[in-house]
Structure 1
Amino acid sequence: MTLSQLFSYISQHPWPAAFYFILLPFVTWFIGIVATGSKDVKFWSYIYAVLVYAVCIPGVFAVILNIYLFLFERQSIWEANIILQYLPILSMAISLILIKNKIPFKLIPGFGKISGFLTLIAALIGVMWFFDRIRLVAFTYVPFSVILTGFILTLLAIRFAWSKLF
């Protein structure tokens, strides 16, 4: 099954995906009500970690998919699939806001890994978009390993700058 076939299937049968993305903020809200006043922060941080991953993996994928489709494929915003391209992002935003109101993100195990991954993906897409837009032809004797090392150092510099910014 290809990604296109999966998207076609979900487009033909949208209710399971829509139910999942609508249910996640309600589950987050409900857990926030149940966890209010509890002294067991470690237990609830693991519950919130499961929710964060359940909402962020499809949400981050939808963000990356939208960036790819709009920048590289030049898809019109009028042709966007609401269930696959916007609902996961909206669900992720609402759920993360609800979680942040109850517990700081630094107490959620693995949350820093998601933001680091998103930063790396954003930097990589930005560099790819830059190279896609320029028409540069270079005849050089520089080995490919040096160019690859420069690319990796650029990504590390972007990651370091991002961590200092936030």
Structure 2
Amino acid sequence: MTLSQLFAYISANPWPAAIYFCILPVLAWGIGEVAHGSRDVKLWSYIYAVLVYATCIPGIFAITLNIYLFLFERQSIWQANIILQFLPVISLALTLMLIKSKIPFSLIPGFGKISGFLTLITALIGVMWFMDRINLVAWTYVPFSVILIGFVLTLLAIRFAWSKLF
């Protein structure tokens, strides 16, 4: 099965995906209400970790897909699939905001790995877009070490911005 076939299947049967992405913020809110006042932070942090991964994996994939389609494939916004391209991102944002209001992300196991993964994806897409837009010539006056330092500084800037976002 290819991604095109999967997307065609989900477009033909959108309700399971739509219900999944709509229920994630509701679950985050419900878990927050049940956990309110509880002293068992470790248990709730693991429950929130499952919820974070359930929303971040498709959300990050949707963000990456959107960037790829809009930057590289030049897809029109009018042809975007709402269920596959926008609903996971909205669900991701709402779920993370609801979780953040109840528990710090530092207490959720593995959350730093997700933000590091997102930083890596963002940096790689940025480099790919940069390479797509320029005609790289083998003879250049800029040393490769300067380009490498610029890439590392970009990674650090993205990581800092992500930590301030949530």
TM-score with structure 2 setting the length:
0.88
1:64-79 residue pairs with structure 2 within 5 A?
64-79=64-79
Q: Distance in 2 between matches of 1:163 and 1:67?
A: 18
Segments of 4+ in structure 1 off by > 6 A? Answer: 149-153
What code does the residue aligned with 2:40 have? D
- The 1:151–1:5 alpha-carbon spacing in structure 2 relative to 1, beyond 3 Å, is farther
Q: Is the 8 A contact 1:116 1:159 kept in 2?
A: no
Q: Give aligned pairs, total.
A: 160
Cα offsets for 1:2-39 (capped at 9, x unmatched): 00100000000000000000011111110000000000
Residues 119 and 159 in structure 2, CA contact (< 8 A), matched pair in contact too: no
Deviation at 1:151, TM superposition (A): 7.6
Alignment of 1:1-150 (within 5 A): 1-138=1-138
Deviation at 1:161, TM superposition (A): 4.0
**1:160 alignment counterpart:** 156
The DSSP-based 3-state class of the residue aligned with 1:138 is coil
Gap regions ≥5 residues in structure 1: 141-146
Q: Kindly tell me: are residues 137 and 151 of structure 1, through their superposed partners in 2, closer, same or farther at Cα, counting changes over 3 Å?
A: closer
1:35-62 alpha-carbon deviations (Å, 9 max, x no partner)? 0000000110000000000000000000
Question: Secondary structure of the residue that 1:136 maps to in structure 2?
Answer: coil
Q: 1:101 to 1:66 in 2, by over 3 A?
A: same
Deviations 1:114-149 (A, max 9, x none): 111101110110010001001223269xxxxxx7x9
After superposition, give the CA deviation of every residue in 1:81-128 in whole Å (9 maximum; x if it has no partner).
000000000000000000000000001000011111101110110010
Three-state SS of the structure 2 residue aligned to 1:73 is coil
Unmatched tracts of structure 2, length 5 or more: none
* Identical pairs, percent: 69
